Chains A and B, each alone.
Chain A
Protein backbone atom coordinates (compact mmCIF):
# COMPACT_ATOMS: atom_id res chain seq x y z
CA UNK A 1 0.00 0.00 0.00
CA UNK A 2 2.81 2.36 0.94
CA UNK A 3 4.64 1.42 -2.22
CA UNK A 4 1.53 2.24 -4.29
CA UNK A 5 1.22 5.63 -2.61
CA UNK A 6 4.88 6.36 -3.20
CA UNK A 7 4.50 5.39 -6.84
CA UNK A 8 1.46 7.62 -7.16
CA UNK A 9 3.41 10.49 -5.63
CA UNK A 10 6.02 10.10 -8.33
CA UNK A 11 3.73 9.36 -11.25
CA UNK A 12 1.01 11.93 -10.72
CA UNK A 13 3.28 14.99 -11.02
CA UNK A 14 4.99 13.40 -14.01
CA UNK A 15 1.66 12.79 -15.73
CA UNK A 16 0.48 16.30 -14.94
CA UNK A 17 3.68 17.73 -16.35
CA UNK A 18 3.30 15.62 -19.47
CA UNK A 19 -0.16 16.98 -20.04
CA UNK A 20 1.32 20.50 -20.15
CA UNK A 21 2.65 22.49 -23.08
CA UNK A 22 2.45 20.29 -26.19
CA UNK A 23 5.25 20.03 -28.70
CA UNK A 24 4.61 21.82 -31.97
CA UNK A 25 5.12 19.77 -35.09
CA UNK A 26 6.30 21.45 -38.28
CA UNK A 27 3.65 22.82 -40.58
CA UNK A 28 3.33 21.04 -43.93
CA UNK A 29 5.32 22.78 -46.64
CA UNK A 30 2.26 23.56 -48.72
CA UNK A 31 0.32 24.92 -45.78
CA UNK A 32 -1.19 28.31 -46.46
CA UNK A 33 -1.18 29.23 -42.81
CA UNK A 34 -0.33 32.90 -42.23
CA UNK A 35 0.41 33.41 -38.54
CA UNK A 36 -0.19 37.15 -38.39
CA UNK A 37 -3.58 36.83 -40.05
CA UNK A 38 -4.87 33.67 -38.45
CA UNK A 39 -3.42 34.00 -34.98
CA UNK A 40 -4.23 37.62 -34.31
CA UNK A 41 -7.29 38.46 -36.35
CA UNK A 42 -9.74 38.12 -33.47
CA UNK A 43 -7.77 40.34 -31.06
CA UNK A 44 -8.52 44.05 -30.99
CA UNK A 45 -6.49 45.98 -33.55
CA UNK A 46 -7.77 49.40 -32.47
CA UNK A 47 -9.70 51.03 -29.65
CA UNK A 48 -13.19 49.70 -28.93
CA UNK A 49 -15.94 50.17 -26.41
CA UNK A 50 -17.60 46.81 -25.96
CA UNK A 51 -20.73 45.79 -24.09
CA UNK A 52 -21.07 42.10 -23.28
CA UNK A 53 -23.44 39.97 -21.33
CA UNK A 54 -21.15 38.10 -18.94
CA UNK A 55 -22.33 34.77 -17.57
CA UNK A 56 -20.23 33.18 -14.89
CA UNK A 57 -20.58 29.59 -13.81
CA UNK A 58 -18.86 27.74 -11.06
CA UNK A 59 -18.37 24.14 -9.94
CA UNK A 60 -21.49 22.86 -8.25
CA UNK A 61 -23.83 24.63 -10.62
CA UNK A 62 -23.84 28.16 -9.25
CA UNK A 63 -23.73 31.09 -11.57
CA UNK A 64 -25.14 34.40 -12.60
CA UNK A 65 -25.29 36.81 -15.52
CA UNK A 66 -24.09 40.41 -15.52
CA UNK A 67 -23.31 43.16 -18.02
CA UNK A 68 -19.75 44.18 -18.75
CA UNK A 69 -18.61 47.40 -20.42
CA UNK A 70 -15.01 47.55 -21.59
CA UNK A 71 -13.10 50.43 -23.10
CA UNK A 72 -9.95 48.96 -24.58
CA UNK A 73 -7.01 50.67 -26.25
CA UNK A 74 -4.66 47.91 -27.37
CA UNK A 75 -2.07 50.32 -28.79
CA UNK A 76 -1.20 51.43 -25.27
CA UNK A 77 -2.57 48.45 -23.36
CA UNK A 78 -5.10 50.59 -21.55
CA UNK A 79 -8.35 49.15 -20.21
CA UNK A 80 -11.35 50.48 -18.39
CA UNK A 81 -13.88 47.90 -17.33
CA UNK A 82 -17.23 48.20 -15.65
CA UNK A 83 -19.22 45.25 -14.39
CA UNK A 84 -22.84 45.78 -13.47
CA UNK A 85 -25.84 43.70 -12.54
CA UNK A 86 -28.67 43.29 -15.03
CA UNK A 87 -30.56 45.74 -12.82
CA UNK A 88 -27.87 48.36 -13.45
CA UNK A 89 -25.96 48.35 -10.17
CA UNK A 90 -22.27 48.98 -10.86
CA UNK A 91 -20.26 46.42 -8.93
CA UNK A 92 -16.87 47.30 -10.32
CA UNK A 93 -15.36 50.22 -12.21
CA UNK A 94 -11.64 49.95 -12.72
CA UNK A 95 -8.93 51.13 -15.05
CA UNK A 96 -5.64 49.51 -15.90
CA UNK A 97 -2.90 51.51 -17.55
CA UNK A 98 0.13 49.69 -16.25
CA UNK A 99 -1.31 50.28 -12.82
CA UNK A 100 -4.70 49.22 -11.47
CA UNK A 101 -7.06 51.90 -10.18
CA UNK A 102 -10.38 50.80 -8.70
CA UNK A 103 -12.83 53.67 -8.98
CA UNK A 104 -15.70 51.67 -7.49
CA UNK A 105 -15.67 48.21 -6.04
CA UNK A 106 -18.47 46.59 -4.10
CA UNK A 107 -18.00 43.44 -2.05
CA UNK A 108 -15.27 41.23 -3.53
CA UNK A 109 -14.61 43.81 -6.23
CA UNK A 110 -13.05 46.08 -3.65
CA UNK A 111 -10.15 43.62 -3.55
CA UNK A 112 -7.30 44.65 -5.89
CA UNK A 113 -6.28 40.99 -6.27
CA UNK A 114 -9.78 40.07 -7.38
CA UNK A 115 -10.05 42.97 -9.83
CA UNK A 116 -6.54 42.41 -11.16
CA UNK A 117 -7.52 38.81 -11.88
CA UNK A 118 -10.51 40.09 -13.83
CA UNK A 119 -8.32 42.56 -15.74
CA UNK A 120 -5.88 39.76 -16.63
CA UNK A 121 -8.74 37.69 -18.02
CA UNK A 122 -10.02 40.63 -20.07
CA UNK A 123 -6.54 41.37 -21.43
CA UNK A 124 -6.15 37.72 -22.35
CA UNK A 125 -9.44 37.77 -24.25
CA UNK A 126 -9.04 41.11 -26.02
CA UNK A 127 -5.36 41.90 -26.47
CA UNK A 128 -2.93 39.95 -28.61
CA UNK A 129 -0.04 38.46 -26.67
CA UNK A 130 3.03 40.68 -26.67
CA UNK A 131 5.51 40.36 -29.51
CA UNK A 132 5.41 38.05 -32.48
CA UNK A 133 4.89 34.32 -32.22
CA UNK A 134 8.23 32.71 -31.44
CA UNK A 135 7.12 29.36 -32.78
CA UNK A 136 4.57 28.29 -35.34
CA UNK A 137 3.53 24.72 -35.90
CA UNK A 138 0.85 22.11 -35.46
CA UNK A 139 -0.56 21.36 -32.03
CA UNK A 140 -2.59 18.27 -32.70
CA UNK A 141 -3.99 19.07 -36.12
CA UNK A 142 -4.40 22.79 -35.53
CA UNK A 143 -2.01 25.40 -36.92
CA UNK A 144 -0.77 27.17 -33.81
CA UNK A 145 1.18 30.30 -32.94
CA UNK A 146 3.14 30.14 -29.71
CA UNK A 147 4.00 33.23 -27.70
CA UNK A 148 6.32 33.20 -24.72
CA UNK A 149 6.38 35.87 -22.03
CA UNK A 150 6.95 36.27 -18.31
CA UNK A 151 3.32 35.26 -17.76
CA UNK A 152 3.80 31.92 -19.47
CA UNK A 153 3.23 30.28 -22.81
CA UNK A 154 0.24 31.25 -24.93
CA UNK A 155 -0.88 29.08 -27.83
CA UNK A 156 -3.32 30.51 -30.35
CA UNK A 157 -4.75 28.15 -32.92
CA UNK A 158 -7.32 28.60 -35.62
CA UNK A 159 -9.76 25.82 -36.37
CA UNK A 160 -11.46 24.77 -39.59
CA UNK A 161 -14.87 25.75 -38.18
CA UNK A 162 -13.74 29.37 -38.00
CA UNK A 163 -13.25 29.45 -34.25
CA UNK A 164 -10.00 30.42 -32.59
CA UNK A 165 -8.69 28.69 -29.50
CA UNK A 166 -6.25 30.14 -27.00
CA UNK A 167 -4.49 28.25 -24.25
CA UNK A 168 -2.41 29.92 -21.56
CA UNK A 169 0.07 27.75 -19.71
CA UNK A 170 1.63 28.85 -16.46
CA UNK A 171 4.73 26.70 -16.24
CA UNK A 172 3.50 23.33 -17.44
CA UNK A 173 0.03 23.87 -16.06
CA UNK A 174 -2.88 24.77 -18.29
CA UNK A 175 -4.23 27.92 -16.64
CA UNK A 176 -6.81 29.29 -19.09
CA UNK A 177 -8.50 28.18 -22.26
CA UNK A 178 -10.44 30.65 -24.38
CA UNK A 179 -12.63 29.97 -27.40
CA UNK A 180 -13.54 32.76 -29.80
CA UNK A 181 -16.51 32.16 -32.09
CA UNK A 182 -19.29 33.82 -34.08
CA UNK A 183 -16.82 36.09 -35.83
CA UNK A 184 -18.42 39.29 -37.06
CA UNK A 185 -17.75 41.37 -40.12
CA UNK A 186 -15.79 43.90 -38.07
CA UNK A 187 -13.46 41.14 -36.90
CA UNK A 188 -14.80 40.98 -33.36
CA UNK A 189 -15.86 37.65 -31.90
CA UNK A 190 -19.54 37.63 -31.04
CA UNK A 191 -18.90 35.07 -28.36
CA UNK A 192 -15.95 34.40 -26.06
CA UNK A 193 -15.80 31.46 -23.66
CA UNK A 194 -13.13 31.40 -20.98
CA UNK A 195 -12.36 28.52 -18.68
CA UNK A 196 -10.09 29.01 -15.70
CA UNK A 197 -8.50 25.74 -14.67
CA UNK A 198 -7.38 24.80 -11.21
CA UNK A 199 -9.09 25.37 -7.91
CA UNK A 200 -11.38 27.14 -7.73
CA UNK A 201 -12.13 26.88 -11.41
CA UNK A 202 -14.74 28.95 -13.14
CA UNK A 203 -15.96 29.76 -16.60
CA UNK A 204 -17.13 32.92 -18.27
CA UNK A 205 -19.31 33.26 -21.33
CA UNK A 206 -19.31 36.65 -23.02
CA UNK A 207 -21.82 37.54 -25.72
CA UNK A 208 -21.27 40.82 -27.50
CA UNK A 209 -24.22 43.19 -27.21
CA UNK A 210 -22.76 46.37 -28.65
CA UNK A 211 -19.43 47.50 -30.10
CA UNK A 212 -18.33 51.03 -30.80
CA UNK A 213 -15.05 51.96 -32.39
CA UNK A 214 -13.08 54.56 -30.40
CA UNK A 215 -11.52 57.45 -32.23
Chain B
Protein backbone atom coordinates (compact mmCIF):
# COMPACT_ATOMS: atom_id res chain seq x y z
CA UNK B 1 0.00 0.00 0.00
CA UNK B 2 2.82 2.36 0.93
CA UNK B 3 4.51 1.68 -2.36
CA UNK B 4 1.32 2.24 -4.27
CA UNK B 5 0.79 5.61 -2.64
CA UNK B 6 4.32 6.67 -3.39
CA UNK B 7 4.17 5.41 -6.92
CA UNK B 8 0.98 7.32 -7.57
CA UNK B 9 2.59 10.50 -6.39
CA UNK B 10 5.76 10.22 -8.34
CA UNK B 11 4.35 8.79 -11.52
CA UNK B 12 1.51 11.12 -12.30
CA UNK B 13 1.82 12.46 -15.80
CA UNK B 14 2.31 16.20 -16.14
CA UNK B 15 -0.66 18.06 -17.53
CA UNK B 16 1.23 20.10 -20.09
CA UNK B 17 -0.17 23.20 -21.71
CA UNK B 18 -0.01 24.08 -25.36
CA UNK B 19 1.68 27.11 -26.79
CA UNK B 20 -0.37 30.20 -26.23
CA UNK B 21 -2.42 28.54 -23.50
CA UNK B 22 -0.31 30.09 -20.81
CA UNK B 23 -2.95 30.24 -18.12
CA UNK B 24 -4.03 26.69 -18.58
CA UNK B 25 -0.45 25.52 -18.86
CA UNK B 26 0.75 27.14 -15.68
CA UNK B 27 -2.28 26.12 -13.70
CA UNK B 28 -2.11 22.58 -14.96
CA UNK B 29 1.49 22.48 -14.04
CA UNK B 30 0.82 23.56 -10.52
CA UNK B 31 -2.26 21.47 -10.23
CA UNK B 32 -0.51 18.36 -11.26
CA UNK B 33 2.48 16.69 -9.89
CA UNK B 34 5.62 18.69 -10.34
CA UNK B 35 5.17 21.14 -7.52
CA UNK B 36 3.73 18.44 -5.34
CA UNK B 37 6.85 16.41 -5.94
CA UNK B 38 9.14 19.28 -5.19
CA UNK B 39 7.17 20.27 -2.15
CA UNK B 40 7.36 16.68 -1.04
CA UNK B 41 11.12 16.79 -1.27
CA UNK B 42 11.28 19.81 0.97
CA UNK B 43 8.79 18.38 3.36
CA UNK B 44 10.59 15.09 3.27
CA UNK B 45 13.61 16.98 4.53
CA UNK B 46 11.49 18.07 7.44
CA UNK B 47 10.48 14.51 8.01
CA UNK B 48 14.11 13.57 7.99
CA UNK B 49 14.84 15.58 11.09
CA UNK B 50 15.77 12.35 12.68
CA UNK B 51 19.10 10.95 13.61
CA UNK B 52 21.12 7.82 13.10
CA UNK B 53 23.88 5.94 11.45
CA UNK B 54 21.62 3.21 10.15
CA UNK B 55 18.15 3.06 8.70
CA UNK B 56 16.96 1.40 11.88
CA UNK B 57 18.43 4.18 14.01
CA UNK B 58 16.83 6.80 11.80
CA UNK B 59 13.47 5.11 12.03
CA UNK B 60 13.87 4.84 15.77
CA UNK B 61 14.82 8.53 15.98
CA UNK B 62 11.81 9.52 13.89
CA UNK B 63 9.57 7.54 16.20
CA UNK B 64 10.69 9.66 19.14
CA UNK B 65 9.68 12.95 17.60
CA UNK B 66 6.34 14.44 18.56
CA UNK B 67 7.02 18.01 17.44
CA UNK B 68 9.61 20.11 15.64
CA UNK B 69 10.07 23.86 15.63
CA UNK B 70 12.91 25.35 13.60
CA UNK B 71 14.08 28.30 11.55
CA UNK B 72 15.33 27.59 8.07
CA UNK B 73 17.49 29.38 5.55
CA UNK B 74 17.11 28.50 1.89
CA UNK B 75 20.05 29.46 -0.30
CA UNK B 76 19.61 29.27 -4.04
CA UNK B 77 22.76 29.19 -6.11
CA UNK B 78 22.71 29.32 -9.86
CA UNK B 79 24.70 30.66 -12.78
CA UNK B 80 22.57 33.74 -13.39
CA UNK B 81 22.87 34.91 -9.80
CA UNK B 82 25.99 36.86 -8.87
CA UNK B 83 25.26 36.09 -5.25
CA UNK B 84 22.94 33.45 -3.82
CA UNK B 85 19.28 34.24 -3.33
CA UNK B 86 18.51 33.72 0.33
CA UNK B 87 15.03 32.96 1.64
CA UNK B 88 14.21 32.57 5.30
CA UNK B 89 11.36 31.11 7.21
CA UNK B 90 10.08 28.95 10.03
CA UNK B 91 8.59 25.52 10.25
CA UNK B 92 6.49 23.83 12.85
CA UNK B 93 5.51 20.18 12.88
CA UNK B 94 3.28 18.36 15.29
CA UNK B 95 2.75 14.60 15.02
CA UNK B 96 0.87 12.96 13.51
CA UNK B 97 0.29 15.38 10.65
CA UNK B 98 0.18 19.10 11.46
CA UNK B 99 2.59 21.37 9.65
CA UNK B 100 3.27 25.06 9.21
CA UNK B 101 5.93 25.84 6.60
CA UNK B 102 6.32 29.59 6.33
CA UNK B 103 8.61 31.75 4.20
CA UNK B 104 9.09 35.24 5.57
CA UNK B 105 11.53 36.66 2.99
CA UNK B 106 11.89 37.54 0.17
CA UNK B 107 8.40 36.34 -0.73
CA UNK B 108 6.00 35.51 2.04
CA UNK B 109 4.03 32.29 1.78
CA UNK B 110 2.69 29.73 4.21
CA UNK B 111 1.47 26.18 3.98
CA UNK B 112 -0.86 25.01 6.73
CA UNK B 113 -1.86 21.43 7.39
CA UNK B 114 -3.99 20.33 10.27
CA UNK B 115 -5.94 17.09 10.30
CA UNK B 116 -7.71 16.84 6.98
CA UNK B 117 -7.52 20.59 6.40
CA UNK B 118 -4.85 21.92 4.08
CA UNK B 119 -4.42 25.49 2.93
CA UNK B 120 -1.75 27.59 1.36
CA UNK B 121 -1.50 31.36 1.24
CA UNK B 122 0.75 33.53 -0.87
CA UNK B 123 1.30 37.24 -1.09
CA UNK B 124 0.11 38.95 -4.23
CA UNK B 125 1.36 42.48 -4.11
CA UNK B 126 0.18 43.87 -0.80
CA UNK B 127 -2.56 41.35 -0.21
CA UNK B 128 -2.55 37.77 0.96
CA UNK B 129 -4.48 35.35 -1.21
CA UNK B 130 -5.27 31.70 -0.84
CA UNK B 131 -3.76 29.39 -3.39
CA UNK B 132 -6.14 27.58 -5.69
CA UNK B 133 -7.98 24.59 -4.27
CA UNK B 134 -6.68 22.33 -7.00
CA UNK B 135 -3.13 22.97 -6.00
CA UNK B 136 -3.99 22.16 -2.43
CA UNK B 137 -5.35 18.84 -3.59
CA UNK B 138 -1.92 17.99 -4.86
CA UNK B 139 -0.56 18.92 -1.43
CA UNK B 140 -2.88 16.35 0.10
CA UNK B 141 -0.90 13.68 -1.71
CA UNK B 142 2.27 15.13 -0.28
CA UNK B 143 0.91 15.02 3.22
CA UNK B 144 0.03 11.36 2.92
CA UNK B 145 3.59 10.87 1.82
CA UNK B 146 4.95 12.77 4.80
CA UNK B 147 3.02 10.60 7.21
CA UNK B 148 5.01 7.67 5.84
CA UNK B 149 8.29 9.51 6.03
CA UNK B 150 7.67 10.49 9.60
CA UNK B 151 7.77 6.81 10.41
CA UNK B 152 11.29 6.76 9.04
CA UNK B 153 10.32 5.02 5.82
CA UNK B 154 12.14 7.38 3.47
CA UNK B 155 14.51 4.69 2.27
CA UNK B 156 11.56 2.88 0.73
CA UNK B 157 10.59 5.52 -1.83
CA UNK B 158 10.48 3.88 -5.25
CA UNK B 159 11.36 7.12 -7.04
CA UNK B 160 14.71 7.55 -5.28
CA UNK B 161 17.63 5.32 -4.48
CA UNK B 162 18.61 6.03 -0.89
CA UNK B 163 22.15 5.50 0.35
CA UNK B 164 23.37 6.06 3.86
CA UNK B 165 26.87 7.48 3.60
CA UNK B 166 29.58 8.05 6.16
CA UNK B 167 29.24 11.12 8.33
CA UNK B 168 25.49 10.78 8.72
CA UNK B 169 24.83 11.72 5.14
CA UNK B 170 21.91 10.42 3.16
CA UNK B 171 22.14 10.55 -0.61
CA UNK B 172 18.95 10.28 -2.63
CA UNK B 173 19.29 9.79 -6.38
CA UNK B 174 16.36 9.54 -8.78
CA UNK B 175 15.79 6.19 -10.38
CA UNK B 176 13.95 7.48 -13.40
CA UNK B 177 15.21 9.73 -16.17
CA UNK B 178 12.15 11.98 -15.96
CA UNK B 179 12.88 12.86 -12.36
CA UNK B 180 16.65 13.10 -12.85
CA UNK B 181 16.08 15.80 -15.46
CA UNK B 182 14.49 17.88 -12.71
CA UNK B 183 16.60 16.87 -9.71
CA UNK B 184 19.93 15.11 -10.10
CA UNK B 185 20.42 14.28 -6.41
CA UNK B 186 19.53 15.25 -2.86
CA UNK B 187 22.02 15.24 -0.05
CA UNK B 188 20.82 15.26 3.54
CA UNK B 189 23.26 15.86 6.34
CA UNK B 190 22.13 14.81 9.77
CA UNK B 191 23.20 16.69 12.83
CA UNK B 192 25.26 15.20 15.62
CA UNK B 193 22.30 15.78 17.88
CA UNK B 194 19.80 12.94 17.68
CA UNK B 195 16.61 13.86 15.91
CA UNK B 196 18.00 16.83 14.00
CA UNK B 197 19.04 17.48 10.45
CA UNK B 198 21.75 19.97 9.59
CA UNK B 199 21.10 20.65 5.92
CA UNK B 200 19.47 19.45 2.74
CA UNK B 201 21.02 20.18 -0.64
CA UNK B 202 18.92 19.70 -3.73
CA UNK B 203 20.92 19.58 -6.94
CA UNK B 204 19.08 20.50 -10.13
CA UNK B 205 22.20 20.61 -12.26
CA UNK B 206 25.92 21.22 -11.85
CA UNK B 207 25.32 24.96 -11.68
CA UNK B 208 22.02 25.08 -9.84
CA UNK B 209 21.33 23.93 -6.33
CA UNK B 210 19.21 24.78 -3.31
CA UNK B 211 20.56 24.43 0.20
CA UNK B 212 18.20 24.29 3.16
CA UNK B 213 19.82 24.66 6.53
CA UNK B 214 18.02 24.48 9.83
CA UNK B 215 18.76 26.23 13.05
CA UNK B 216 17.16 27.01 16.40
CA UNK B 217 15.66 23.55 16.28
CA UNK B 218 13.43 22.64 19.18
CA UNK B 219 12.13 19.11 19.47
CA UNK B 220 9.12 17.82 21.35
CA UNK B 221 7.90 21.17 22.60
CA UNK B 222 4.27 22.15 22.91
CA UNK B 223 3.20 24.07 19.81
CA UNK B 224 -0.10 26.00 19.91
CA UNK B 225 -2.66 24.33 17.67
CA UNK B 226 -3.71 27.68 16.20
CA UNK B 227 -0.38 27.89 14.38
CA UNK B 228 -1.52 25.06 12.14
CA UNK B 229 -4.95 26.50 11.50
CA UNK B 230 -4.50 30.24 11.11
CA UNK B 231 -2.33 32.44 8.96
Contacts and interface: CB of A to CB of B under 8 A. Distances in A.
Contacts of A106: 29, 34, 182
B6 interface: no
Given A107-B16, A107-B25, A108-B28, A64 B107 contact: no
Interface stretch (B63-71, B169-177, B200-208): B200-208
A108 B125 contact: no
Interface string B192-231: 0000000000101100101000000000000000000000
Given A63-B132, A88-B210, A107-B25, A80 B38 contact: no
Contacts, number: 139
Interface in B82-136: 82, 85, 87, 103, 106-107, 109, 122-125, 129, 131-132, 134-135
A88 B88 CA distance: 12
A87 interface: yes
A209 interface: yes
A86 interface: yes
A69 B135 contact: no
Contact of B125 (A80, A118, A207): A207
A63 B124 contact: yes
A111 B124 contact: no
A113 B19 contact: yes
A114 B205 contact: no
Interface string A59-92: 1011111010101000000001010111111110
A107 to B, nearest CB: 4
A38 interface: no
Given A55-B122, A61-B132, A63-B132, A88 B74 contact: yes
Contacts of A111: 16-19, 25
B25 A114 contact: yes
Contacts of B21: 108, 114, 200
A154 interface: no
19 contacts: A49-B80, A55-B124, A57-B124, A58-B26, A63-B129, A69-B85, A82-B80, A85-B38, A88-B85, A107-B14, A107-B25, A111-B18, A111-B25, A113-B18, A114-B25, A196-B22, A200-B21, A200-B24, A202-B22
Given A64-B30, A88-B74, A106-B29, 18 more contacts: A55-B123, A57-B124, A62-B132, A63-B122, A63-B129, A63-B132, A69-B85, A86-B122, A88-B76, A88-B85, A90-B78, A104-B204, A108-B16, A108-B17, A111-B16, A111-B17, A114-B19, A207-B125
3 closest cross-chain pairs (CB), A and B? A113-B19, A108-B25, A88-B210
